[in-house]
Amino acid sequence: MEKENIRTLGALKASGYQSESIQEELARNLRQRLQDGTPTFEGLIGYEKTVIPDVERALLSGHNINLLGLRGQAKTRLARQMTRLLDEWIPIVQGSEINDDPLNPISREAQELIAEKGDDTPIDWLHRNDRFFEKLATPDVTVADLIGDVDPIKAANLKLSYADERVIHFGMIPRAHRCIFVLNELPDLQARIQVALFSILQEKEIQIRGFKLRFPIEVQIIFTANPEDYTNRGSIVTPLKDRIGSQILTHYPHSREVAKAITEQETQAVAQKTEHIYVPELAKDLIEQIGFEARKSEYVDAKSGVSARMSITAFENLLSTAERRRLQNGDEKTTIRLGDFMGVVPAINGKIELVYEGEQEGAEQISLHLINTAIKTLFPDFFPKIEKLEKPDAQTPYDSVLSWFFDNNDLFLSDDLSDSEYQATLDTVTGAAAVVTEHHGKCSKEEHYFMVEFLLWGLEAHKKLNKYRTLEGFQFKDALGSFISGL
């Protein structure tokens, strides 16, 4: 529609414009995208077969939606992308506070203006980017914030009594007429405020300070909620849940490959800044596996969830750790090392809620435990499995490595070693390179040394070696020899 030439109500009528609710508009544009094979939502990796089809069905049904899921499950991003299903421009009565449709005005001011000026009523155009409203439901949110209140200043300026509905100052939801309104963390909203939403969702009317206004407000409302909030801080009152058309469950990535794709998507800008850092694929696997281990750990509160942001910030910290070392050593390039995962600990600490046993251990110890557990989980994918119970004379692929440590040898890997010093230090461990070459002979030089270090960390995770953290780096010693010397 050539909106530049349509500036009055008469011109809008002549153009053939038809009024429709925002639900009808969203459904129409969604049907067109589905017929054309155009993606409805983008960048929501892992939701293609689960959440997105549920959202599409809800929009085709004209439902208000509640996105229910733990933190870091892209609920708000999903809601924000719905603006792509709106028309690029819609007409509104010029000066309207609540985006009145020129062909179907609902406010008294717009109705009186059209009655006065008829087809000469001026209209404006509203872009879809301006049709998104968002509010975080905090305990201090009031009915006035969401729905409205009597405005004494307006009453004084217009010389109106409080009995006149024109003294009403509209809240966020009426101002979101013909728009998308997202109310985040719904359970945090006080029950009496939730009750005030009943009539808007069902009867399309609002009540303010005794005024009962029949306002056919057309708002596409998207609620987000965290199941944790149901017990910790509040709940969604049952009549309100009954009025929400569709409740859609979001989820964390089901596989490590999906999780890696999400992290890669969210860290593209950081990865471009660190083009001088080689990142082994196994390092990316470990970052994601830490998240999977945290979600099933006995030390982590499962009801709180482990946000996908943990993997994203952990990967950013991992790159920054290597970049800092490269800059300090004056190296042109460097490679991620397992020792760099100490830089990941601060990203984990702030993203997990610990249960009582975890609090007793301490956040940093739990973070290190999760890293070790991830290494132990992935170890059999790259090297022969280490059995818990072995015959005393059983031969294993790791005998030569363990013998080297048993002969009173130890290995110290400083955090700030240059790449050449790091590689030379790992080369001193007899048998380690041979084990890696046997099982990963075709890997690159950078991958080879990461695998050697991964082998040592894996042996320690299976209690075949001892690993100690100092201020400068990591020290590896023989487990049995250390015990005997201690005696």
According to DSSP, residue 254 is labeled: S
SS3 string, 201-245, reads: HHCCCEEECCEEECCCCCCEEEEEECCCHHHHCCCCCHHHHHHCC
Domains 3-249 and 253-381 share a fold: no
The CATH number for 253-381, chosen from 3.40.50.410, 1.10.8.80, 3.30.70.100, 3.30.450.40, is 1.10.8.80
Tokens 């809800």 found at:
58
Cβ neighbors of 158 (< 8 A, separation 6 or more) are 166, 167
Q: 3-249 belongs to which CATH class?
A: alpha beta
How high is the pLDDT of residue 169? Answer: 78
Question: For residue 457, what is the enclosing H or E element?
Answer: helix 445-461
Residue 265 main-chain phi, psi, to 5 deg: -60, -40
- What is the DSSP annotation of 135-203? EE--TT--HHHHTEEE-HHHHHHHT--TTSGGGEEE-HHHHTTTSEEEEESGGGS-HHHHHTTHHHHHT
- List pLDDT tens digits, range 278-309: 999 999 999 999 999 999 999 998 888 888 89
- Given the DSSP bridges, would you call strands 465-469 and 473-478 parallel, antiparallel or unpaired? antiparallel
How high is the pLDDT of residue 200? Answer: 80
The domain segmentation of the chain, as residue ranges, is 3-249, 253-381, 388-487
How high is the pLDDT of residue 126? Answer: 94
d(CA 66, CA 376) in angstroms, rounded, equals: 39
How high is the pLDDT of residue 144? Answer: 82
Report helix, strand or coil for 472: coil
The segments of the chain whose pLDDT lies below 50 read: 231-232, 482-483, 486-487
How high is the pLDDT of residue 162? Answer: 56
d(CA 135, CA 183) in angstroms, rounded, equals: 5
d(CA 320, CA 25) in angstroms, rounded, equals: 46
d(CA 339, CA 350) in angstroms, rounded, equals: 20
d(CA 272, CA 34) in angstroms, rounded, equals: 34
